Structure 1
Amino acid sequence: MNWTAEQLRIADKYTCKDEIPENERRYKCHTCHRIVDESPCPVCGDVNPEIMCPLDNCDCSHEITGTIEYCPLCGEPVCPECGCHDVVQISRVTGYLQDVSGWNAGKQQELKDRQRYSVA
């Protein structure tokens, strides 16, 4: 992902999503699947909508990509083509594919640190 200068400025301004001031926050409600400006969600009343990363564009049209990148602000996996944070990362573990969101922090960091190679 080629982050713009403005996006990199935002990433340098905050070290995590929790540092974003209340008046600048946007939230993703996973109950009604909307982006809202306040918590609790004014549409469905969900009291725990997720603080949205300001670098998330939310509009990914890519079904599958061969690589994954990580957001410079929140560290979450993002689509390498558009920067959308709504991705599911899977990896092959002992012969089968598995969603890595259930892995512990150490195993997820090991996945981030892996070296990738292309056979030409």
Structure 2
Amino acid sequence: MQWTEEQRALAQKYKRLEDIPVEERRYKCHTCNHVVDATPCPVCGETELEIMCPLDHTHCSHEVVSGIEYCPLCGAAVCPECGCHDVSQISRVTGYLQDVSGWNAGKQQELKDRVRYTVA
């Protein structure tokens, strides 16, 4: 993913999502799938909202991509073509494809640290 200079500056300005001032935050509601400016969600009333990464645009048009990259601000998996954070990452484990969102933090970090090679 080729991050713009504005996105790189934002990632350097805030080291964690919690560092973003409350008045600048946006939230993702995973109950009704809306992006809102305040908690609780005005659409469904959900109170457990996730702080939305400012580098996320939430509209990925790619169904399947071969690789994955990670957000420089929040560390979440992103689409390598558009930078959208709403991706499901799968990996082959002992012959089966599995969604990695259920893995523990150590196993997810191991996946991030893997070196990928291409055969020419």
TM-score, normalisation: structure 1 = 0.98
Question: 2: CA distance between counterparts of 1:85 and 1:18?
Answer: 17
State how 1:35-114 maps to structure 2 within 5 Å. Answer: 35-114=35-114
Secondary structure of residue in 1 paired with 2:98 = strand
TM-score, normalisation: structure 2 = 0.98
**How far 1:3 moved relative to its partner?**
0.2
**How far 1:57 moved relative to its partner?**
1.0
Question: 2: CA distance between counterparts of 1:109 and 1:33?
Answer: 27
**What is the one-letter code of the residue matched to 1:68?**
I
The Cα offsets for residues 78-112 of structure 1, whole Å up to 9 and x where unpaired, read as: 00000000000000000000000111111111100
* Percent identical residues: 72
Which ranges in structure 1 are unaligned for 5 or more consecutive residues? Answer: none
Question: 1: CA distance between counterparts of 2:63 and 2:49?
Answer: 25
Count of residues in correspondence between the two structures = 120
Which ranges in structure 2 are unaligned for 5 or more consecutive residues? Answer: none
Question: 2: CA distance between counterparts of 1:32 and 1:114?
Answer: 35
Aligned to 1:22: 22
